[in-house]
Structure 1
Amino acid sequence: MRRAVLAAVAVVAAVVAVNTQSEKLDYAAIGKIRDEGFNRSQVMDHISWLSDVYGPRLTGSPAIQQASEWAMRKFGEWGLANIHQERWKFGKGWSLVRFSAMMLEPQPQPIIGYPREWSSGTKGPVTADVVRVQIANEADFAKYRGTLAGKIVLTQPARRVRMLEGPIILRMDDQYEKEAETTPVPAPAAGRGRGPSTGSGQVPATAAQAFRDKLEEFYAAEAVVATFDRGSDSDMADGGSTLSWQQQHPDGGTIFPSGSFARDDKVGKSVPGLTIAVEHYNRMIRVLDKGLPVRVELNVETKYYDEAGMNGFNTIADLPGGDLASEIVLLGAHFDSHPYATGATDNATGSAAMMEAVRILKASGVKPRRTIRVALWGGEEQGLLGSKAYVADHLADVDTMTLKPEHAKLSAYFNSDNGTGRVRGVWLQSNLAVRPIFERWLEPLKDLGVTILSPRSVSQTDHLSFDNAGVPAFQFLVDRLEYNSRTHHSNMDVYDRVQRDDMVQQATVIAVFAFEAATADEKLPRKALPAPQRPAGRGTTSSAQR
């Protein structure tokens, strides 16, 4: 069977290769795109607006609505069409109003930290003693019952802080390029995307999550003032995209808050929870171990937003095509961010690159045959919710794999969501039939360092929603730089970490790729349609409700 499948793939690839040889690239048009992209780039200005002015852009917050309105105004200025929002049910929104934390004893010290998203507030400034707990299961509750009222609780042990010994900056050197061009042995099957979602967009509880919920209820019942954590137990992070590369978190005041409080009917019922710098956290532990008091003044004010107007949305605009205008080439990036910084590299860079790509195409005067649509997704950080909602509305019910008419009209989806690095190629998502096509499309981009076509399937971002619906969907392969070491989901994801030259290249490469997809004689070849996610008879649950 495997030999038959491989033979079939080889035949398809051979047919595609013959067809692509007869297609001529429009080098004059590509030259215009490159000229506009490199000589009149506006991508850094887009990033500044999205991060400096409207960041952070947490889904359901006023800031992401303001950012969307700004993006739609820009689309209008550039002459795009069909500019609109598409809304879907998300749950309560949240934003931080103000925050301060100051150690008072044993000596005064400002504390670097940030409330975790959807945290409640302190109802004004409070001063409290800090205590440390060691709670591994519900049986441990008894040791602390009646002792924590009015206290700030440290929830983890100290963590060793190392010098910068590991890699901080990752680029696709020869070693990683060779690895990317291999096909890894598949891991045991684990659900699609970031896990299934309920109708409200919440990830179903696991045993570990159920215990965390019980722990939050315990802290609230004990009248704890707030909890402090110091983030991950390790200072190392995967480089991402299934490769073996690793990056070291630099610490030094950079924090990586993890975990979100509920945004359903439990919203606001937990005590405030904050992640603080590991160095400040460790100091508190050491002082407590000496039997001395630690006192902190804390002020957290947050605000929640009701669902009434549907807090989730995607922002859409079209560059109309010509003779094949009913067919779509879709460019997408998630527009939302976590609230801990300004969401510059995750993902103002990807959103700005897609915006700039359509601006370049419009300004250069080239004539795509297919319509090029740009979509800026909300809710990616909570489980690819915006792109899932688009798929459900426009393309397919993936629970039953019932296709809608637009499914046949979508030629391809291209995604950008790995930071500020240069485009080095494309993750083929196991769609080997597109390789000869993409090899030809890369010819006018090789001088820009775009050479890699990895057969690997990658996940954890919005192209997966389309891949799971049987649409050709691809993530651009970029240099990770400091993405996983310093900026990804941290308090240092700010404009200053963005690399201008790399972003100019990224937006221009995406514009060229979109143009080539929109002018090709045929839509891109597709993999076999995936099996339904919920076979008939088991019931269905939409990932995002309209």
Structure 2
Amino acid sequence: MKKLLPVIALFCISLGLSAQDEKVDLEMVKKIRQEGLNNSKVMDIAFNLTDVSGPRLQGSPGFMRAANYAKGKLTEWGLTDAKLEPWGEFGKGWELEKSYLAMTAPYYRPLIAYPKTWTAGTKGKLKEAEIFLIDETDTTALENYKGKLKDKIILLYKSDKITPSFKADASRYTDEELEKMANDAPQTRSQPDTAFRSMMAAMRRSTLLSTKTKEMAKKEGALALLSMSNRGKDGTLFVSGGGSYKASDPENLLDIMLAAEDYLSLCRLAKAGIPVKMEIDVKTKFYTQDLQGYNVVAEIKGTDPALKDEVVMLGAHLDSWQSSTGATDNAAGSSVMLEAVRILKTLNIQPRRTIRIGLWSAEEQGLHGSRNYVKNHFTDPTTKKSNAEGDKVAAYFNIDNGTGKVRGIYLQGNEACRPIFTKWFEPFHDLGAKTVTIRNTGGTDHLAFVGVGIPGFQFIQDEIEYSTRTHHTNMDSYDHLQGDDLKQVATIVASFVYNAAMRDEKLPRKK
């Protein structure tokens, strides 16, 4: 260990010198702060992406409303080449046009419910049907129910108990948590523990049972299948996909997510032998005329003759799920990125490198928009690494962790960027942003860029209510956005993008 101390000391000194050498135009940062914090349009942008556009499920009219709004604004602000760029075939669009579900016996009771995406409706009229309870834990026992499911609403028995929450839905990172992140060593892949393996196995069995039940119910002519999220309570539904969107696949059986309190009540009644009846009227629409997926793309052209062909990118996914208007996931990120480029254009910056914004589609189905953009533009088909065009990308910055303010940035293992970002955060310490962590974070569009070797980064954000209340739920509405936080995020993103566009060198890549 003693032999390593001089090496470690030399490394730390070199990082410190690199941070000191990093140039930051503090006068421009001051202007960005003034525009971003005092003249922000981020909440007006968010209003148009949520309340005005509606749910933005991939391929739906709501997504296209939002995409065309974004394209129009980018053109209005003076960006060039604003367009809806096709990236390849996605599949069918889907929209919910009507939804009504209520218990009518043993008494009338409205239910908190939402159909899953890409599932069929009830073919245009109100129907009354009986609940049919399936009380099994494995697929082989389903044979006992054959021939009994026609015109029924299928309910898989659950005996779950709802437990109260003793933690707040919303939280911010503490200084201690942020310090721990800043001091983390590079992550290594670890083996899942026994409890995790057991949980995953139970989830697979439950999913298989539900899938087999749905297949049998559809074949026999059942009206619908009812579902319950393992995470939701207090009327919050974690609801997403329920059918295939591929063009060649048939319509799936209507699958309706119920609030846990309603679902468990139905289970107790049916288990006790009390007849339960329901009224159901659901109308859905599939869109098959245009199966392409589209990203929204626009640029602020670079001005340096030697660097203008290099690109700094910023982006977020524009699509959402269907049960609300996708405010924290991810109108927040899209609004911030739109606001960031608005700030830069308002200040009439003359970036050395080209700045390009991308608002991605079909992120919720597997990062399709960003992955295909990277594949179409930046990937060598032989090596699967960045091609000549990809080598010109200086950096990609992403926002997709809800409405919380920026507290720092994930390096994705790219230690060489630590002193650079540390310097860039200095003007924002008073806004609570300074943590630089070696950690990786996943699940969103920066991974498409990182995958081919392009420096891609996601910012650390306070979670607020993200995992507990809004992410993929019926509560993900405009009202859960924090305006002051989003102003801060847009301001910091605009500064980072500007700094990356003005550096003498591109950001270093991982070795």
Q: Do residues 445 (structure 1) and 417 (structure 2) align?
A: no
Deviation, structure 1 residue 401: 1.9
Q: Do residues 372 (structure 1) and 361 (structure 2) align?
A: no
Q: Counterpart of 1:202?
A: none
Contact 1:158 1:281 in 2 (8 A): no
1:390 and 1:437 map into 2 onto residues whose CA distance is 27
Q: Counterpart of 2:343?
A: 360
Deviation, structure 1 residue 298: 0.6
Q: Counterpart of 2:219?
A: 221
- TM-score norm. by structure 2 comes to 0.91
- Cα distance change, pair 187–167 in 1 and its aligned pair in 2 (3 A): farther
Contact 1:93 1:311 in 2 (8 A): no
Q: Do residues 256 (structure 1) and 255 (structure 2) align?
A: no
2:179 and 2:222 map into 1 onto residues whose CA distance is 52
Contact 2:22 2:423 in 1 (8 A): no
Deviation, structure 1 residue 379: 0.7
2:85 and 2:359 map into 1 onto residues whose CA distance is 10
SS in structure 1 opposite 2:294?
strand
Q: Is there any run of 5+ residues in structure 1 with no aligned partner, and where?
A: 191-205, 236-248, 529-546
Residues 59-86 of structure 1 show CA distances to partners (whole Å, capped at 9, x for unaligned) of 1111111111111110111000111122
Q: Counterpart of 1:239?
A: none
Residues 465-506 of structure 1 show CA distances to partners (whole Å, capped at 9, x for unaligned) of 111110000001100000010000000000000011111111
Q: Counterpart of 1:320?
A: 301
SS in structure 1 opposite 2:468?
helix
Deviation, structure 1 residue 51: 0.5
Q: Do residues 50 (structure 1) and 52 (structure 2) align?
A: no
Deviation, structure 1 residue 211: 6.3
1:270 and 1:499 map into 2 onto residues whose CA distance is 37
2:114 and 2:186 map into 1 onto residues whose CA distance is 38
Q: Counterpart of 1:132?
A: 133
- Cα distance change, pair 74–260 in 1 and its aligned pair in 2 (3 A): same
| Residue in structure 2 matching 1:340, options 323, 333, 341 | 323
Q: Counterpart of 1:153?
A: 154
| Residue in structure 2 matching 1:409, options 387, 392, 395 | 392
The residue type equivalent to 1:221 in the other structure is K
- Cα distance change, pair 291–216 in 1 and its aligned pair in 2 (3 A): closer
Task: Name the count of aligned residue pairs.
Answer: 492
Residues 326-356 of structure 1 show CA distances to partners (whole Å, capped at 9, x for unaligned) of 1111001000000110000000000000000
The residue type equivalent to 1:218 in the other structure is M
| Residue in structure 1 matching 2:477, options 494, 498, 510 | 494
The residue type equivalent to 2:75 in the other structure is G
- Cα distance change, pair 185–522 in 1 and its aligned pair in 2 (3 A): closer
| Residue in structure 2 matching 1:394, options 356, 362, 377 | 377
Alignment of 1:15-94 (within 5 A): 18=17, 20-87=19-86, 88-94=88-94
1:161 and 1:102 map into 2 onto residues whose CA distance is 22
2:407 and 2:385 map into 1 onto residues whose CA distance is 35
1:398 and 1:414 map into 2 onto residues whose CA distance is 24
Residues 443-468 of structure 1 show CA distances to partners (whole Å, capped at 9, x for unaligned) of 11111110111110010000011111
SS in structure 2 opposite 1:160?
coil
SS in structure 2 opposite 1:381?
coil
Q: Do residues 304 (structure 1) and 305 (structure 2) align?
A: no
1:355 and 1:267 map into 2 onto residues whose CA distance is 36
- Cα distance change, pair 290–214 in 1 and its aligned pair in 2 (3 A): closer
1:402 and 1:252 map into 2 onto residues whose CA distance is 46
- Cα distance change, pair 288–350 in 1 and its aligned pair in 2 (3 A): same
Deviation, structure 1 residue 267: 4.0
The residue type equivalent to 1:72 in the other structure is K
Alignment of 1:101-116 (within 5 A): 101-116=101-116
- Cα distance change, pair 40–326 in 1 and its aligned pair in 2 (3 A): same
Contact 2:186 2:438 in 1 (8 A): no
- Cα distance change, pair 399–104 in 1 and its aligned pair in 2 (3 A): farther
- Cα distance change, pair 109–76 in 1 and its aligned pair in 2 (3 A): same
Contact 2:152 2:223 in 1 (8 A): yes
Contact 2:318 2:361 in 1 (8 A): yes
The residue type equivalent to 2:374 in the other structure is V
Contact 2:341 2:494 in 1 (8 A): yes
Deviation, structure 1 residue 364: 1.7
Deviation, structure 1 residue 117: 0.8
Q: Counterpart of 2:189?
A: 187
Residues 283-310 of structure 1 show CA distances to partners (whole Å, capped at 9, x for unaligned) of 111222332111110111111111x534
Q: Counterpart of 1:289?
A: 271
Deviation, structure 1 residue 163: 2.3
The residue type equivalent to 1:84 in the other structure is K
Deviation, structure 1 residue 404: 2.2
2:493 and 2:322 map into 1 onto residues whose CA distance is 27
Contact 1:118 1:268 in 2 (8 A): no
Alignment of 1:271-290 (within 5 A): 271-290=253-272
- Cα distance change, pair 189–45 in 1 and its aligned pair in 2 (3 A): farther
SS in structure 2 opposite 1:405?
coil
2:247 and 2:222 map into 1 onto residues whose CA distance is 21
Q: Counterpart of 1:456?
A: 439
2:488 and 2:94 map into 1 onto residues whose CA distance is 35
1:491 and 1:437 map into 2 onto residues whose CA distance is 40
The residue type equivalent to 2:177 in the other structure is Y
SS in structure 2 opposite 1:469?
coil
The residue type equivalent to 2:500 in the other structure is A
Contact 1:434 1:525 in 2 (8 A): yes
Deviation, structure 1 residue 371: 1.2
Contact 1:415 1:462 in 2 (8 A): yes
- Cα distance change, pair 189–60 in 1 and its aligned pair in 2 (3 A): farther
The residue type equivalent to 1:299 in the other structure is D
Deviation, structure 1 residue 18: 4.2
Residues 180-216 of structure 1 show CA distances to partners (whole Å, capped at 9, x for unaligned) of 23237523589xxxxxxxxxxxxxxx99877654433
Percent identical pairs in the alignment equals: 40
2:256 and 2:34 map into 1 onto residues whose CA distance is 47
Contact 2:247 2:291 in 1 (8 A): no
Deviation, structure 1 residue 92: 1.1
SS in structure 2 opposite 1:287?
helix
Q: Counterpart of 1:470?
A: 453
Contact 1:120 1:268 in 2 (8 A): no
Q: Counterpart of 1:194?
A: none
1:155 and 1:398 map into 2 onto residues whose CA distance is 46
